[in-house]
Amino acid sequence: MAGLERLRPDHAPALLAFERRNRAYFAASVPDRGDAFFAEFDRRHADLLAEQEAGKHHFHVLTDRSGTVLGRVNLVDVGNGSAELGYRVARQAAGRGLATAGVRQVCALAAGKYGLTTLRARTTADNAGSRAVLARAGFQEAGTLVLTGKPGLCFTLDLRRALP
């Protein structure tokens, strides 16, 4: 099983490999990050770590025993006791419960270590896998929106209630 780690500077090579290896897979369900993301990865990684240090975000990677990144679970836009949850799992790790386990672990960190009370998440309405992960983690549907031109759903999780 994968371990959850807070993002560090030394994760950069494995994280870049993860993003490159899964680019087409991710682009099938979420907007592509674009060529600039890859060309400017080192600078962007350093910027994200600085923002994490400032408390604006909490970034995490799911890694196997060899240090290969299998997924990401992030809390962004931290403020007023809340944050937005985002996650992605590598194609080769999908369907094995990794996203659910990672999301649950980050929810526990959010409530405990980070002192948050509410999490928000969004997904396209046609992303059954993501909707299932959020449901298993205790998120409740909270409205609709349009994501990249597609119908989407908003979810919330009150961390003051017991996590599943």
Tokens describing residue 97: 């419960």
Query: What are φ and ψ of residue 15, in 5° steps?
Result: -70, -40
Question: Going residue by residue through the chain (164 aa), what tens digit of pLDDT does each one get?
Answer: 689 999 999 999 999 999 999 999 998 888 788 899 999 999 999 999 999 999 999 999 999 999 999 999 999 999 999 999 999 999 999 999 999 999 999 999 999 999 999 999 999 999 999 999 999 999 999 999 998 788 999 999 999 985 55
Residue ranges of domains in the chain, CATH in brackets:
3-158 (3.40.630.30)
Tabulate helix, strand, coil % of the chain (nearest 5): 40, 30, 30
* Structure confidence at residue 1 (pLDDT): 65
The answer to whether 158 touches 111, Cβ cutoff 8 Å, is: no
H or E segment to which residue 90 belongs: none
Cα separation, 29 vs 123, in Å, equals: 9
In 3D space, the residue among 81, 87, 41, 44 whose CA is nearest the CA of residue 62 turns out to be: 87
